[in-house]
Amino acid sequence: MNMHDQFWTATRKLRRQYNRLWLADHAARTVLRRETWLTARRLRAHAELVQLALHLDDRGTSADDTDNPSPIERRRPVDRVNDIEPVDFRRRYFDTDTPVVMAGAGASWPAANWTHAMLGSRYKQTSVRLLRAAPNEAKGRPGEGRDATYAQIAESMNAGGDLYARFSGIMHQHPELVDDVDIEWFRSMRDDHRSFENWGFFMGGAETATGLHSSIAPNLFYQITGRKRWWIYPAAAAPFFAPPAKCSPYFYSEVDVSDPIRWPIARCVPGWIADLEPGDVLYVPAFAWHQVHNPTATIAVGYRWAKLGLGWRASPVQTLLVLTCSNPSLLKARGHKDLPSLLDAVDY
């Protein structure tokens, strides 16, 4: 058994216990619409789990080694591959819920020539709801997000400001943008392309970031300008991050995995790190936990799709939580025109 398998085996019992309490806490809140003793019980299970994880050494099995103050780094670089065939992508990465960077896959698409100045001037009247989603940022109450136009975002990027359009639906509002990416390439990578597909657009200044979260939809993320660092963890890592039980279809955590001094759990859970360059496409599996930092101003596009079976394979617990969410309900969620407006309706 390798070091990572040993880690998952040694923490399995407590992770299962946490997941049972997560479901129970969610069910109690759904029915009673308030916090119950189950929240405190769930958080105690989380604290116990973190304690165990911090004290597992690189032989990976002992919970008794309390003299190991500095957890070892269990995150490794995401594989980078060139010109991978869809069938190989599915067999090696998709079927195993493993992230991969397809280096330069989108380097020759017309979108590679986009600039923020060009998009800011072409879509100067189009606006987007800005979300409070950076690590360590106080979350907004529903409906509190503010709007900015793409002209304002482009200006802010020039001025070193922090405006950041995340998960924007602009590719749906202006479908001519989709002509600039190779949609057939994206479709060829997934296991079928008959069901739902969704584009999320990202444009913002240097030093912006998106905090740790996970979602049921797998993602092929196309880096267009600038660079990004991604920290990614498998769906099974959720109990280490104790996402608040908010009955919402969106899971986030207060843990800042870019800061392992403050959050040592960030590096002792096996995960991955990817540094994206323009033209790269990153595959992010269903329910994989991820946090993103932009060291430079950047434009990027995420292609997502969703199938219950993929969510279930990655995380039955999180799939059940999504199916029974009430903040907002799935029915209401479908009424939102794009992800920023949906996330802005969630009571954090």
Ligand X SMILES: O=C(O)CCC(=O)C(=O)O
Which residues are at the interface with ligand X (CB under 6 A)? 166, 200, 202, 210, 219, 221, 228, 290, 292, 300, 302
Nearest residue (CB) to ligand X, 133 versus 325: 133
Closer residue to ligand X, CB minimum distance, 89 or 251: 251
* Cα–Cα dist 26/290, whole Å: 22
CB of 179 to ligand X, least distance (A): 21
> Closest separation between CB of residue 118 and ligand X, Å?
20
Instruction: Using CB positions, name the residue nearest to ligand X.
Output: 210
Question: What residues are paired with 252 via a beta bridge?
Answer: 213
Q: How far is the CB of 291 from ligand X (least distance, A)?
A: 8
Q: Is the Cβ of residue 21 or residue 301 nearer to ligand X in the bound state?
A: 301
What is the nearest approach in angstroms of ligand X to the Cβ of residue 284?
A: 6
Q: Which of 222, 230, 231, 253 is nearest to 318 (CA)?
A: 253
* Minimum gap (Å) between residue 134 Cβ and ligand X: 9
With respect to ligand X, which residue has the nearer C-beta, 152 or 214?
214
Tokens of 81: 């591959």
Residue number with CB closer to ligand X (38 or 314): 314
Least distance in angstroms from the C-beta of 166 to ligand X: 6
Nearer to ligand X, 7 or 303 (CB): 303
